[in-house]
Structure 1
Amino acid sequence: MKDFLPRLAAAPLSALAFGILFAWSLYTTILEAREPNVYDFVFLILGAAAAWIYQHVLLMLRLPEWMERAKRGAAR
């Protein structure tokens, strides 16, 4: 469990970084009325991938605990 904590701490930072990059690309596209370029789509894909990976890391960390709770609840 302790091995995953540094990864868990790094995951939101990477998701936040990609989210900021994508928000900046949207901001410049809308306010500067320019055509979207390939970087806008890359930031969208990277931001979505970072969020998806973060959710799955959380699931992997919490799943054993949830299974244990379910077993204890079923035993009662």
Structure 2
Amino acid sequence: MEVTVERFLKWKILPRFMMLLSTAMSWRCAEWFMDLDNPTSQQSAFVSVVMGVMTGVFGIWMGHEHKGDK
């Protein structure tokens, strides 16, 4: 079985891999924050921004996944 470029792109491996990595990064960020004994406001802001960005990334990713199913 030969894997063509079109078939590889149809599987959407790269976007799914990037979403998996982004999810792992945000999970590790949350774990780091929860392990802090006395978090500062800067650390809280950092985690808040990371989680906010993940909301947008997930929304965009879901929108692109839905468009491909038509």
Structure 1 and Structure 2 fold alike (TM over 0.5): yes
- 1:11 is displaced (CA, Å) by 1.5
Letter in 1 for 2:48: L
TM-score with structure 2 setting the length: 0.59
Structure 2 residue 46 is the aligned partner of structure 1 residue 42: yes
Q: RMSD value over aligned CA atoms?
A: 2.5
Structure 2 residue 24 is the aligned partner of structure 1 residue 20: no
Structure 2 residue 56 is the aligned partner of structure 1 residue 52: yes
Please identify the structure whose Cα radius of gyration is greater.
1
Q: How many residues align?
A: 62
Distance change (3 Å), C-alpha of 1:7 and 1:64: closer
Runs of 5+ consecutive residues of structure 2 not aligned to the other structure: 1-5
Deviations 1:15-52 (A, max 9, x none): 22122212321231xxx2x2423023212211231242
Which structure's relative contact order is higher, taking Cα pairs within 8 Å and 6+ residues apart? 1
**Residue aligned with 1:13, SS:** helix
User: Identity over the aligned pairs, expressed in percent?
Assistant: 5
